Amino acid sequence: MPKDQSQESHTAPAVQDGQQCDRIKEVLSRVGDRWSVMIIFSLGRGTMRFNEMKRYLGISQRMLSLTLKALERDGLVQRTLHPTVPPRVDYDLTDLGRSFCEPVYAMGRWALDNLDNIDRSRAAYDAAQED
């Protein structure tokens, strides 16, 4: 419950007024973790299979399984089992998942553009600490 909403004379940029902030927090808690973002990110390229993602992302089988299940439950990812021999499982983004791609890519692009800035900041901070 936000206590001090009275002095927002700043550059309030978007949607926000307290209970909305709570809902955002709620959603980000669900889909805002590292592996969810990474999975959405790579599925944006197209269909992937379980072990393919595992190798590509360097994620443990357990976390991949759990995260994919959660994303499927949230309606971002679709799981398709092909009853061949051996059985083959494809993972794709749903429409909802694809719409989530845009903000995820925006973050990815920012990450790429600013990795060097962050590294410089870190080095400067660490150097300053050594006094």
Considering only residues 74 to 103 of the shown chain, the ones binding DNA according to CB under 7 A are 79, 85-89
Closest Cα partner for 92 from 59, 131, 36, 48?
48
Nearer to a second copy, 1 or 86 (CB): 1
Q: Which does residue 25 bind out of DNA, a second copy, none, counting CB within 5 to 8 angstroms by kind?
A: a second copy
Closest Cα partner for 18 from 29, 30, 8, 31?
8
How many CA atoms, within 13 angstroms, populate the side-chain half-sphere of residue 62? 0
Q: Are 1 and 19 in contact (CB under 8 A)?
A: no
The contact mask relative to a second copy for 70-109 (x = CB under 8 A, - = no) is --xxxxx-------------------x--xxxxxxxxxxx
Q: Which does residue 84 bind out of DNA, a second copy, none, counting CB within 5 to 8 angstroms by kind?
A: none
